[in-house]
Amino acid sequence: MILLFVIEFVEGNTVTRLYFMRLRRLTNDALAQGGVTPELTRTRQEHLPTFTHFLDIPMLLVLVSLGAIRPSTWSQFSIGMVCALTVATALTLGIPRLYPSVPLTYNKPN
């Protein structure tokens, strides 16, 4: 369980955090230029950061259930991990992006 927590902590503070920091920088650059840049479009299409973002809550539920129930076999761990990975995959593939697939241009106020 400690190893699972360490993996979750490292994943949440490296892949996801670095992606959103890079996305914020690219978005600010695009706003300064007045339109979506090709680099921002490529970055928004990455699936690994989205997957790790959606994996956080299911993994936390697995950790809490393992701590609360304290199973004597590995079956709860195995089932929980399969369910967490399935939920994260379904959310990554099923939830539409929060931004449109066709970039909108930004109109600067006068």
* Domain residue ranges of the chain, discontinuous segments joined by +: 2-94
pLDDT above 70: percentage of residues in the chain: 86
Joined together, the tokens standing for residue 9 give 């902590």
> Which of 40, 50, 20, 25 lies closest to 105 in space, CA to CA?
40
Rg (alpha carbons) of the chain, rounded to whole number: 18
Q: Mean of the pLDDT values across residues 35-59? A: 86
- Tell me the pLDDT band of 6, cut-offs 50, 70 and 90: confident
DSSP E strands in the chain: the ranges are: none
Joined together, the tokens standing for residue 39 give 């680099």
**Mean pLDDT of the chain, nearest integer:** 84
- Tell me the pLDDT band of 61, cut-offs 50, 70 and 90: very high
Q: What is the model's pTM?
A: 0.72
- Tell me the pLDDT band of 53, cut-offs 50, 70 and 90: confident
The answer to whether 51 and 89 are in contact (CB under 8 A) is yes
- Tell me the pLDDT band of 26, cut-offs 50, 70 and 90: very high
